[in-house]
Amino acid sequence: MPRQSSALRAALLFLAATIGAPSLVRAQRTIPTPASILGFEPGADRHLPSWKQIVDYFAAIDRASPRVSVRTLGKTTLGRPFIVAFISDSSTLANLEHYRQIQRKLMDPRLQVANERQRLIDEGKNVILVTSAIHSNESGGFTTPIVLTDRLARAEDREARDILANTIIMLVPSQNPDGVDIVGDYYRSTLGTPAEGRDPPDLYHKYVGHDDNRDWYAFTQPETRYTVDSLYTPWDPQIVNDIHQQGSNAGRIFIPPYMDPIEPNIDPILTAATNGLGMSIVWRMTNLGFTGIGSNASYDQWSPARQYSLYHRGARLLTETASARLATPIDISFDQLGAGRGYEAKTVSWNFPSVWPGGKWTYGDIVRYQTAASWALFLDAAMNRRAWLEGYATQGDRALGALPAWGRDAWPSAIVIPKAQPDTQALRRMIWTLQHGQVEIRESTAPTTVDGKTYPAGSYVVLTKQPFGAYAKALLERQAYPDLFDYPGGPPKRPYDVTAHTLPLLFGVDVAHVTGAAPATGPAIKEMAEPTYTTALSGKTTKRIALFRPSASEPIDAGWTHWVLDTYKVSFTTITEKDLAGGAPNDRFDAIIFPDGTLGGGGGRGGRGGRGGGGGAADVFAALDAFANNGGSILAFNSSSNALIDGLKLPVKNVLAGVGNNDFYAPGSILAVEIKRDSPVARGFTATVPAIWFENGPAFEISDPSMATAVASYPATGNPLLSGWLLGGSKLNGKAALVDVKHGRGHVVLYGFRPQYRGQSMATYPLIWSAIQ
């Protein structure tokens, strides 16, 4: 470097600062520290940042650093700003649209001109989406993004320069900003009390609590839609860094590879890329002295509900760091460490290379692990940029090409969706849902015959040969979950989540899978607007409806019920056991709904953020008994029906009570039923293939047919499984799935399933509306 006079150097520095060049001097002088904005170091014991503090930090860094550009994507469910920070070299950020166009062309070879592929790979950036803190009691998740941003905005070291030069990072500091404050406010209000470090009694997302990361193909919540519409759809990133936390007593962090099974529509490039990247992170972290890292454990790669990117060209690196008690430290001795699923935390193994010695575990440790894992991910993405982009482009080529990609010869060529459907709202929702996930929908230009049935020209057609054809196929076909057991002859191996996601069955929409030549079609049609959802109860006050939740905690199924009622503009009042303590509330309500897990001992799957149960005291059943006798309607979903059978001594028996997993197992599957169409409860039910969402539910036998009617029953013979996994299905043959029980002048409707499952099982919503009318 030529020698400069001090006057010249001063002039250059002044000039650089004035024109905003990203000079070292400017960066060092003006980047505010996180502590200067938050008032404490990120990760300090007992100091959770509020959402406002986090937004203030990102606003300040946006002003101060040319490497960070913050955008607001919209308002959350409860009205908070939902933000993303784009982080890269200042020159890349100044030309973001240019790089986005490269990304688009690599994603879709139809947009490339001849011989352009190599130039695009030479020039393109490795695009990384970070979705952090979708689960708000995983407090490191909304803290680590601050530490990462600070380091990338400030650092001049080789690693940071490589990352900034080769990647574009889209950092969502919280996928659920409302929950940052729902959890944080409760935490701050309970500091120093016995409740310090506990989850709040309310769901940490108004409607869906912990299920907010089960929404990545149904897109029911605005927060999901912001990330899909503003980040996934325009960019289709190569890598998603999904930052989570797990329990405290096994490994310190989980990093992929995932456990089996792998959903077969995922391009194997992404499975291999996920495995390679995960192992690269484990290696780098181990170099730095991090211990207790587990892989190939607990988490599988089955459901698109959690992993949108795996169907949209991006590897998903889920990390799950051990939790403390929010921001309160815990102590775990080595002896207290136990087994994770797939490893033992006291023993080294290939997928758990070093044990953590035990001791104090803090919020700061969580942030340290999450930061190290994210940094290692960024480094791999930077170092291997070319390989990532080549794999990305190859996925695009074979989604559209004739390559024999992972068994595609056995695929249908197209799926026809007839326009004549029993439920037009459901049809519209299905088209909207698919298009929202970047699926191209076309219309046939000639009649198409499938299995002897002819569909007229103008029918909707989904070609599987299209950029996201595998995603469409995954959602439109029936799932065949493999029979997996812990060991030969042992119990079934529990899936991480549910096993089915077949939209035509959930929505009650007819489709036909075309094998052989694809039908002739026109161009992709324009995006359809989401339907306005209505029922006969919408906007009416003729029926006074109560939705029950226990006061101690709100089960997630109650939140989903709330969401369905709000979405259909059905007015209701939330009640707790206190509202029933005074006796039958017939003067206030005509119908009371008990979602799964709200009644009885909490047998339902409340999940984290809502444990269920608590509403089963004797006075509650006395009030309900009188309520129904006086003409009220009681609706009980899934496990809550068991509590009502016992509590009201109903003439119905759950035949699955006491049956073990070895004899019967259905951990989230879609099952066939037959509907008694002349029952008043079945009024409005239209699906051609009647199907219910079954997950740890009861199945009923009626002991007094004069008092109870089976509105939905499992087939008398054959396997009732339509999609997912079912062991011991013969136990269901001839049993009832939905029972209408007369009770005095009123009635009790028992659902052996969740009729409003995660806002998806639209086909069975009419079974709710009709039971109320």
Inter-CA distances, 576 with 53, 598, 690, Å: 34, 10, 33
Q: Which is nearer to Zn ion, 135 or 735 (CB)?
A: 135
Q: Which is nearer to Zn ion, 105 or 244 (CB)?
A: 244
Among 33-41, 135-143, 323-331, 680-688, the segment contacting Zn ion (CB under 5 A) = 135-143
Q: How many whole angstroms separate alpha carbon 218 and alpha carbon 224?
A: 9
Interface with Zn ion in residues 423-462 (CB under 5 A)? none
In whole angstroms, the minimum distance from the beta carbon of 214 to Zn ion comes to: 11
Q: Which is nearer to Zn ion, 609 or 746 (CB)?
A: 609
- Pairing outcome for strands 736-743 and 674-675: unpaired
Among 157-165, 239-247, 280-288, 563-571, the segment contacting Zn ion (CB under 5 A) = 239-247
In whole angstroms, the minimum distance from the beta carbon of 430 to Zn ion comes to: 29
- The partner residues of 675 in beta bridges, in order of sequence, read 712
Q: Which is nearer to Zn ion, 135 or 206 (CB)?
A: 135
Site string for Zn ion, 374-403 (x = CB under 5 A): ------------------------------
Closest CA to 492 of 209, 337, 192, 261: 261
Q: How many whole angstroms separate alpha carbon 376 and alpha carbon 367?
A: 14
Radius of gyration (C-alpha) of the chain in whole angstroms: 27
In whole angstroms, the minimum distance from the beta carbon of 322 to Zn ion comes to: 12
In whole angstroms, the minimum distance from the beta carbon of 319 to Zn ion comes to: 10
Q: Which is nearer to Zn ion, 135 or 473 (CB)?
A: 135
Q: Which is nearer to Zn ion, 135 or 549 (CB)?
A: 135
Among 76-84, 131-139, 157-165, 220-228, the segment contacting Zn ion (CB under 5 A) = 131-139
State the sign of the Cα–Cα–Cα–Cα dihedral 225, 226, 232, 238: negative
Q: Which is nearer to Zn ion, 166 or 176 (CB)?
A: 176
Interface with Zn ion in residues 570-589 (CB under 5 A)? none
Note whether 206 binds Zn ion by CB under 5 A. Answer: no
Among 50-58, 186-194, 238-246, 752-760, the segment contacting Zn ion (CB under 5 A) = 238-246
In whole angstroms, the minimum distance from the beta carbon of 139 to Zn ion comes to: 11
In whole angstroms, the minimum distance from the beta carbon of 629 to Zn ion comes to: 44
In whole angstroms, the minimum distance from the beta carbon of 243 to Zn ion comes to: 9
Among 223-231, 240-248, 420-428, 535-543, the segment contacting Zn ion (CB under 5 A) = 240-248
In whole angstroms, the minimum distance from the beta carbon of 244 to Zn ion comes to: 3
Q: Which is nearer to Zn ion, 80 or 135 (CB)?
A: 135
In whole angstroms, the minimum distance from the beta carbon of 615 to Zn ion comes to: 27
The identity of residue 221, as a single letter, is Q
In whole angstroms, the minimum distance from the beta carbon of 399 to Zn ion comes to: 30
Q: Which is nearer to Zn ion, 135 or 428 (CB)?
A: 135
Interface with Zn ion in residues 471-490 (CB under 5 A)? none
**Terminal Cα distance for the chain, rounded:** 83
In whole angstroms, the minimum distance from the beta carbon of 256 to Zn ion comes to: 15
Closest CA to 709 of 687, 671, 737: 737
CA atoms in the 13 A half-sphere facing the CB of 412 = 20
Beta strand residue intervals within 533-626, DSSP E: 545-548, 573-575, 591-594
Q: How many whole angstroms separate alpha carbon 31 and alpha carbon 18?
A: 16
Site string for Zn ion, 586-625 (x = CB under 5 A): ----------------------------------------
On the 0-12 / 13-18 / 19+ scale of CB atoms within 10 A, 20 is: exposed
In whole angstroms, the minimum distance from the beta carbon of 220 to Zn ion comes to: 18
User: Residue 80 gets which letter from DSSP?
Assistant: P
CA atoms in the 13 A half-sphere facing the CB of 16 = 17
Q: Which is nearer to Zn ion, 137 or 238 (CB)?
A: 137
Strand order in the sheet with 253-254: 68-75, 81-87, 167-172, 126-132, 239-246, 315-322, 253-254, 293-294
Q: Which is nearer to Zn ion, 177 or 615 (CB)?
A: 177
Note whether 205 binds Zn ion by CB under 5 A. Answer: no
Beta strand residue intervals within 493-590, DSSP E: 512-514, 545-548, 573-575
Q: Which is nearer to Zn ion, 318 or 545 (CB)?
A: 318
Q: How distant is the alpha carbon of residue 576 from its chain centre?
A: 28
Note whether 316 binds Zn ion by CB under 5 A. Answer: no
In whole angstroms, the minimum distance from the beta carbon of 436 to Zn ion comes to: 24
- Containing 59, the helix (H) or strand (E) segment is helix 51-64
Q: Which is nearer to Zn ion, 132 or 641 (CB)?
A: 132
Site string for Zn ion, 82-121 (x = CB under 5 A): ----------------------------------------
Q: Map residue 111 onto helix, strand or coil.
A: helix
In whole angstroms, the minimum distance from the beta carbon of 505 to Zn ion comes to: 28
Q: Site for Zn ion (CB under 5 A): how many residues?
A: 2
Among 58-66, 237-245, 337-345, 408-416, the segment contacting Zn ion (CB under 5 A) = 237-245
Q: Which is nearer to Zn ion, 559 or 720 (CB)?
A: 559
Structure tokens at 442: 């076309």
Inter-CA distances, 562 with 36, 547, 717, 728, Å: 41, 8, 36, 33
Among 134-142, 322-330, 374-382, 482-490, the segment contacting Zn ion (CB under 5 A) = 134-142
Note whether 244 binds Zn ion by CB under 5 A. Answer: yes
Among 49-57, 128-136, 374-382, 461-469, the segment contacting Zn ion (CB under 5 A) = 128-136
Return the axis-axis angle of helices 385-400 and 96-107, rounded to nearest 10°: 50
The residue whose two tokens read 């002897």 is: 452
In whole angstroms, the minimum distance from the beta carbon of 141 to Zn ion comes to: 8
Q: Which is nearer to Zn ion, 135 or 501 (CB)?
A: 135
Q: Are 616 and 647 in contact (CB under 8 A)?
A: yes
In whole angstroms, the minimum distance from the beta carbon of 149 to Zn ion comes to: 21
Q: Which is nearer to Zn ion, 88 or 131 (CB)?
A: 131
Q: What is the dihedral of CA 304, 310, 313, 318, to 10 degrees?
A: 130
On the 0-12 / 13-18 / 19+ scale of CB atoms within 10 A, 23 is: middle
Q: Which residues contact 416 (CB under 8 A, 6 or more apart)?
A: 444, 448, 450, 455, 459, 460, 461, 511, 512, 514, 519
Q: Which is nearer to Zn ion, 186 or 594 (CB)?
A: 186
Q: What phi and psi, each to the nearest 5 degrees, are found at residue 413?
A: -80, -25
The identity of residue 191, as a single letter, is L
In whole angstroms, the minimum distance from the beta carbon of 200 to Zn ion comes to: 16
In whole angstroms, the minimum distance from the beta carbon of 543 to Zn ion comes to: 38
Q: How many whole angstroms separate alpha carbon 31 and alpha carbon 153?
A: 7
Q: Which is nearer to Zn ion, 245 or 265 (CB)?
A: 245
424: left (phi over 0), alpha (psi -120 to 50) or beta: alpha
Question: Does a cis peptide bond (omega within 30 degrees of 0) precede residue 257?
Answer: yes
Note whether 135 binds Zn ion by CB under 5 A. Answer: yes
Most distant pair of Cα atoms in the chain: their distance = 102
Q: Which residues bind Zn ion (CB under 5 A)?
A: 135, 244
